[in-house]
């Protein structure tokens, strides 16, 4: 296990306030390597960065400080084509992946990316749309992958709640995985109640980069997702969705991205990119980190995903 010395200011006060008794906190937080840590004025602490998912994030362990973040916020799964131009202008400070659900929305995602440099177009066929989509349209979507404007595939995947079309969903999803592997394109995935199947198909086709959006699947799959260097997104619904909150608590920071999935209504929430700043603050609270550090880690994760 690797431990680093980390300057206390990057951690949220909620964590530091709990460190009055180092022996107790070693066992309660499982965040410290031993009870002989020199707390002193609580300036430096031995922090288990692997536990926090930050092991590779901080380079200089002897002199760490965090400046005011100039990183852009991230919405890694958004149906940007569903917003008006005026609305999109309000989101220029947010790096966005515009996922698509069919041929028409895929073409729209490409068009708006030409006007907004912060929008990255992904093309795809949502599993909900698979049953009603002719094979000829699927083929036209596949051919769009030759376009230089297309930098990824999504929203594609499987939905385990749509049992009757599951076989057809798998057929289409595997085709997209083959293209992703051939063209080295990242994937942005819908995997509701099909998390294990999606992961197995990704590995089968040697897909290198993938996001499992709004992950609310089995906790024990998180380690496999991380080991395959895939990522998950956390959605603003984390405030009200208990399962999603548990995922946030257990997932490593270096596999997390933020998303809105907007425009979408979910249990009274009007999901839009405007909710991303509040989502960052919620993640910071849950991980006992500062918002600035969370922003910087997520921005780093996002650049790594698109590289």
Question: What pLDDT score does 6 carry?
Answer: 35
Examine the pLDDT at 72 and tell me if it is beyond 80.
yes
54: confidence class by pLDDT, cuts 50, 70, 90: low
Residue 188: pLDDT band with limits 50, 70, 90: very high
pLDDT class for 30, splitting at 50, 70, 90? very low
pLDDT above 70 as % of the chain = 77
Quick one: how many helices (H) and strands (E) in the chain? 12, 12
- pLDDT-derived band at 43 (thresholds 50, 70, 90) equals very low
- Give the separation between CA 133 and CA 272, rounded to whole angstroms: 27
CATH 1.10.10.10, domain 73-306, yes or no: no
From-to residues of CATH 3.20.20.140 in the chain: 73-306
Peptide bond preceding 87 in cis form (omega within 30 of 0): no
Pairing relation of β-strands 94-98 and 256-258?
Answer: unpaired
- Residues contacting residue 289 through CB under 8 Å, at least 6 positions apart: 10, 11, 12, 15, 52, 253, 283
DSSP secondary structure letter of residue 27: H
pLDDT bucket at 148, cuts 50 / 70 / 90 = confident
pLDDT (0 to 100) of residue 304: 96
Q: Would you state the pLDDT for residue 163?
A: 85
**Across 262-268, average pLDDT:** 95
Return mean pLDDT, the chain: 83
pLDDT at 147: 85
- Asked if residue 7 has pLDDT above 90, the reply is no
* Model confidence at 36: pLDDT above 60: no
The 10s digit of each residue's pLDDT in 215-239 is 999 999 999 999 999 999 999 999 9
Q: Is the pLDDT reported for residue 40 higher than 50?
A: no
Asked if residue 62 has pLDDT above 70, the reply is no
List CB contacts of 139: < 8 A, sequence separation 6 or more.
Answer: none
The answer to whether residues 4 and 61 touch, using CB atoms and an 8 Å cutoff, is: yes
pLDDT band at 16 (very low <50, low <70, confident <90, very high): very low
The torsion region of residue 272 among left (phi > 0), alpha (psi -120 to 50) and beta comes to beta
CB-CB contact of 99 with 77 (8 Å): yes
User: Are 19 and 25 a contacting pair, CB within 8 Å?
Assistant: yes
**In which band, very low, low, confident or very high, does the pLDDT at 24 lie, cut at 50, 70 and 90?**
very low
**Above pLDDT 90, what percent of the chain?**
74
pLDDT digits (tens, 9 = 90+) for 77-124: 999 999 999 999 999 999 999 999 999 999 999 999 999 999 999 999
Top-confidence residue, 94 or 54: 94
Cα gap 135→157, rounded to integer Å: 16
The per-residue pLDDT for 44 is 30
pLDDT score recorded for residue 103: 97
Q: What is the DSSP letter of 69?
A: P
């Amino acid at each position: 296990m690797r431990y680093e010395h980390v300057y206390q200011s990057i951690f949220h006060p909620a964590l530091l306030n709990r460190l009055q008794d180092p022996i107790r906190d070693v066992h309660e937080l499982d965040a410290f390597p031993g009870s002989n840590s020199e707390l002193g004025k609580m300036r430096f602490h031995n922090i288990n960065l692997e536990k926090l998912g930050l092991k590779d994030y901080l380079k200089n362990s002897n002199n760490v400080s965090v400046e005011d973040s100039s990183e852009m916020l991230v919405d890694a799964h958004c149906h940007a084509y569903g917003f008006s131009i005026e609305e999109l202008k309000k989101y220029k400070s947010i790096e966005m992946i515009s996922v698509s659900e069919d041929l028409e929305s895929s073409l729209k995602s490409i068009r708006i990316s030409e006007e907004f440099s912060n929008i990255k177009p992904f093309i795809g066929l949502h599993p909900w749309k698979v049953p009603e989509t002719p094979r000829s349209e699927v083929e036209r979507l596949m051919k769009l992958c030759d376009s230089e404007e297309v930098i990824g595939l999504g929203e594609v995947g499987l939905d385990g709640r749509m049992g009757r079309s599951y076989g057809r969903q798998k057929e289409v999803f595997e085709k997209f995985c083959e293209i992703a592997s051939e063209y080295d394109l990242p994937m942005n995935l819908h995997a509701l109640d099909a998390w294990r199947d999606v992961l197995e198909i990704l590995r089968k086709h040697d897909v290198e980069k993938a996001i499992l959006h709004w992950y609310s699947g089995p906790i024990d799959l998180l380690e496999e997702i991380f080991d395959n260097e895939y990522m998950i997104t956390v959605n603003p619904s984390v405030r009200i969705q208990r399962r999603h909150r548990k995922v946030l608590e257990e997932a490593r920071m270096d596999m997390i991205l933020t998303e809105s999935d907007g425009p979408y209504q979910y249990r009274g929430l009007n999901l839009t990119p405007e909710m991303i700043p509040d989502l960052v603050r919620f993640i910071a609270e849950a991980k006992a980190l500062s918002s600035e550090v969370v922003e910087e880690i997520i921005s780093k994760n996002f650049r790594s995903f698109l590289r």
